[in-house]
Structure 1
Amino acid sequence: MMKRLLTIAGAVMLLLPACKGESGGTDGKNDKGAGAAEAKKETAKDISLGVLADLTGATADVSRPYNEGMLAYIDNLNSSGGVKGRKINAMSEDYAYKVPAAEEKYKKYVQAGVIAIEGWGTGDSEALRGKVKGDQLPFMSASYAEVLTDPAQSPYNFVVAPTYSDQIRVALDRIAAESPNAKVAVFHHDSPFGNAPIEDGEKWVKERGYKLGYKTYAMKTGSTDFVGLLQQAKDQGATFIVTQNVSSPAATVARDLAAQKLNMKMVCLNWCSDELFIKLAGQAAEGHWMVQPFTPPSVPKPGHDTVRAYCKAKNIDLEAKGLHFVQGWYTMHIMAKGLEKTLGDGKELTGTNLRAALETMEAVDTGGVIGPVKFSAESHRGATASGVYKVEGGKMVEVAAAVTPKK
């Protein structure tokens, strides 16, 4: 009986490898061959991007719709096949506008193998400049600080819109044309974002030979009013307040101006030139100016059509989301165009190849929303023209389109 059992066991052992091979199991070749290769192939189909968002921090009022616009663009793109048949997998997390948190998220994204980063603020964008250079990861953000446009200093940073410095130049040009001897107070967020255009604005006044007075005032985060700063601006003799801040504090300034019955006109730059500022300031917003690179949905352009169609299909109120939703949408669109060129050129999707694609691709036409956006190996400044708007009847009314700093 023992001899018979051993004979049966041996036969079974001989059959097992053959059965594993036929069923795609784990014999020597199949273990590390077709199964593993197929898994790698499946993973390679997705394009991983890292996204930094301020959803709970100091700039969350404008960062949330911007982030939603980026993710909506990805959803829309993926539903139509992605980039050359490859879908984008976006890892989007809140860093609450805190640079150390942004650095931690960045490490996480690098370890996950992302091909590029979509950042947010000036503080995190500048803090990560050296890291993205070392890791060779293209980095776009909603910061338009001028230092990020120079490939010699920031070789992997790309700026899709006119810089804050270009925006303040446009503002000062307009003020000088309206009132050549005006005194200008610059109210700014007390951060790298707020400080970004300050020196360049002062230099512009001197370079252009303007007779404008120019003085800057830091706006303390969390302030419930800015009556004290307005009193200092009044003492300066200011009749214009250029504002480099987000919507909520800018609206507080507008309300304080109205309450104090001060004869000063605000000129908001990018991040307070929006529908939220008008909503929060109410009647106090009337008559103030805005320098805004991205065209709001209330001023229809052909580039809004695709965004509007997506929002209609998803039951999203585009007017309620506002221009920052569109801003996020088209920032991601420009990144996607770089990815498309890389793959279209038959190149492996690496950070260095993506950088080269962004630098050499044709100008991106956004249907009048911004741009056209064009980078080069010499400059990562994608666009220089902003729109100029005035608040009338509770809306942003376009005064002039595609305005660049005077030469």
Structure 2
Amino acid sequence: MSIIRALKVSVLAGTLFAAGAFAPGSGSTAVAAQDVSVCLWGTITGPDAILNGMSYGARDYFEYLNQFKGGIAGQKVRTLLLDGRYKLDEELKIYRRCVDQEQAVFVSGWSTGAVKALRDQIAQDQIPFMAQSHSSEVLDPVKLPYIFIPGPTYEQQMVIALRALKQQGGKTVAVMHPDNEYGRGPVNVVRQSGLIEKTGLKLADTIEFPFDTQDLTAQMLRLKSRNPDMVYVQASTPQLLVILRDAAKVGLPAKLFVGNMYNISAAIPEQLGKGAEGFRTIQIYADFGADIPAMKEIDAFRTKNEIAKQDVYYMKGWFQGIVMAKAIENAIAKNGGKIPDDIRSFRKAVRTEMTSLRSLDVGGIVPEANYDTHQGTTLARIAEIRDGRYVPVSDWIDAR
């Protein structure tokens, strides 16, 4: 298949890892304006690579459409998956490549730091952008009309945990987070808004730690002296592993801790064993292997393809692929079944169709998707590690 072909939704089912491949002007064939490229980047390698199933899931959904549905609107789709390595400068280079060289109609990017740095640029470029970040600081349909997120914000996830603590009779909470935008930003928003106090709780302590730390024993001793009823962790799986390991060293049980959506990794019970029992986390997406229609699509796809990560984050990516593809499909349909010749017009049309997605059936990965508020869903539930597995311990909760 030629990369450049008039009036064709293009798909490149490849993954590039070399750093030099991301710089503008480096070895990429330019895509004609009337072609379409869906451009994704994630942490394929790097400190958060354990979560990169969501990047593979989105890519694989577009490839599923190619192999089983004939693409979008009867035409094959082209996706480009790149490695941002959780490095801000690399992510910013990739963004420009996606917009300028690849002429992407939809871009999906990884880190909170990157999407915050790109907020104004995305608005200026007028390109639909699906963030992997759930930060409330990038969710604003008026000021940031081209940015979409795939579920409850980090702040809303924290509110779910706070409300649950209050309902259980808890009085005090401590918060832990790494020293980066992903960790610090949402915690600052919650603290400055007074949400903890409005919930009827008292903040016992806030502990910031290095993102790449391998020892949190001193911080655990500090937490133990504060004696909170709950510790909320705004961190990712690699940091959570260190937290629970060192908490056990000082006698703090896993059941004291609650994490956000990026702590629902099988690596936690696998690596910590009984030391992870009782840990709770926020769950937004259905488990890989769940008895839902989307899983039947994934099962069909893996009869012909290898799936890199079989986890809940892959389900998140598949969900994002469904949403992005539907907006593209609707934009083409509104243009008489043809791809607009002008990429700017096509991007604007896709953005409009994103905001028109309401009660969208996403195969049970979430109850339903609504993007009129740019958020997809505000529903989540609490899951707890029991006998080495994450088990839902609440109904779906509206985080608003």
What is the aligned partner in structure 2 of residue 74 from structure 1? 62
CA 1:312–1:40 in 2, change beyond 3 Å: closer, same or farther?
closer
State the one-letter code of the partner of 2:201.
K
Q: Does 1:156 align with 2:146?
A: yes
What is the aligned partner in structure 1 of residue 38 from structure 2? 49
Q: Does 1:135 align with 2:125?
A: yes
Residue 396 of structure 1 is aligned with which of 371, 375, 390?
Answer: 390
Q: Does 1:354 align with 2:346?
A: no
* Offset, 1:215: 2.6
Question: SS in structure 1 opposite 2:64?
Answer: helix
Aligned counterparts of 1:161 and 1:248: Cα–Cα separation in 2: 22
Alignment of 1:298-309 (within 5 A): 299-309=290-300
What is the aligned partner in structure 2 of residue 364 from structure 1? 360
Q: Does 1:311 align with 2:302?
A: yes
What is the aligned partner in structure 1 of residue 269 from structure 2? 278
Residues paired across the two proteins, number: 362
What is the aligned partner in structure 2 of residue 328 from structure 1? 317
Q: Does 1:341 align with 2:330?
A: yes
Alignment of 1:2-401 (within 5 A): 40-41=6-7, 47-63=36-52, 65-79=53-67, 80-112=69-101, 113-181=103-171, 183-202=172-191, 203-208=194-199, 210-263=200-253, 265-297=256-288, 299-316=290-307, 321-346=310-335, 348=340, 350-376=346-372, 379-401=373-395
Question: SS in structure 1 opposite 2:258?
Answer: strand
Aligned counterparts of 1:281 and 1:46: Cα–Cα separation in 2: 48
Gaps of at least 5 residues in structure 1 are 1-37
Question: SS in structure 2 opposite 1:152?
Answer: coil
Aligned counterparts of 2:44 and 2:355: Cα–Cα separation in 1: 31
Deviations 1:242-264 (A, max 9, x none): 11111122012112222222246
Quick check: 1:184–1:238 contact (8 Å CA) kept in 2?
Answer: yes
State the one-letter code of the partner of 1:328.
G
State the one-letter code of the partner of 1:40.
A
Aligned counterparts of 1:261 and 1:47: Cα–Cα separation in 2: 55
Quick check: 1:387–1:403 contact (8 Å CA) kept in 2?
Answer: yes
Question: SS in structure 2 opposite 1:40?
Answer: coil
CA 1:180–1:323 in 2, change beyond 3 Å: closer, same or farther?
same
TM-align CA RMSD: 2.2
State the one-letter code of the partner of 2:323.
I
* Offset, 1:57: 2.3
Gaps of at least 5 residues in structure 2 are 9-31
Aligned counterparts of 1:220 and 1:286: Cα–Cα separation in 2: 25
Question: SS in structure 2 opposite 1:197?
Answer: helix
What is the aligned partner in structure 1 of residue 26 from structure 2? none
State the one-letter code of the partner of 1:360.
S
TM-score (norm 1): 0.83
Aligned counterparts of 2:34 and 2:387: Cα–Cα separation in 1: 49
Aligned counterparts of 1:217 and 1:374: Cα–Cα separation in 2: 35
Aligned counterparts of 2:71 and 2:236: Cα–Cα separation in 1: 33
Quick check: 2:127–2:146 contact (8 Å CA) kept in 1?
Answer: yes
State the one-letter code of the partner of 1:294.
Y
* Offset, 1:39: 5.2
CA 1:57–1:403 in 2, change beyond 3 Å: closer, same or farther?
same
* Offset, 1:191: 1.2
CA 1:298–1:278 in 2, change beyond 3 Å: closer, same or farther?
farther
Deviations 1:294-344 (A, max 9, x none): 121255434322223323443548xx6211111111112111111011112
Aligned counterparts of 2:350 and 2:7: Cα–Cα separation in 1: 20
Question: SS in structure 1 opposite 2:198?
Answer: helix
Aligned counterparts of 1:271 and 1:190: Cα–Cα separation in 2: 16
Aligned counterparts of 1:326 and 1:311: Cα–Cα separation in 2: 14
State the one-letter code of the partner of 1:290.
T
Deviations 1:369-393 (A, max 9, x none): 22411122xx212211102111001
Question: SS in structure 2 opposite 1:215?
Answer: strand
Quick check: 1:66–1:324 contact (8 Å CA) kept in 2?
Answer: yes
State the one-letter code of the partner of 1:327.
K
Question: SS in structure 1 opposite 2:374?
Answer: coil
- Once the two structures are overlaid, the 10-residue window that deviates more, 283-292 or 300-309, is 300-309
Quick check: 1:46–1:89 contact (8 Å CA) kept in 2?
Answer: no
CA 1:221–1:82 in 2, change beyond 3 Å: closer, same or farther?
same
Aligned counterparts of 1:115 and 1:169: Cα–Cα separation in 2: 34
Aligned counterparts of 1:399 and 1:39: Cα–Cα separation in 2: 51
Deviations 1:130-150 (A, max 9, x none): 111111101002101112221
Structure richer in helix, relative to its length: 1
Quick check: 1:244–1:272 contact (8 Å CA) kept in 2?
Answer: no
Aligned counterparts of 2:290 and 2:38: Cα–Cα separation in 1: 31
State the one-letter code of the partner of 2:355.
E
Aligned counterparts of 1:147 and 1:371: Cα–Cα separation in 2: 25
Question: SS in structure 2 opposite 1:155?
Answer: coil
- Once the two structures are overlaid, the 10-residue window that deviates more, 303-312 or 153-162, is 303-312
* Offset, 1:285: 0.9
Quick check: 2:204–2:226 contact (8 Å CA) kept in 1?
Answer: no
CA 1:41–1:151 in 2, change beyond 3 Å: closer, same or farther?
closer
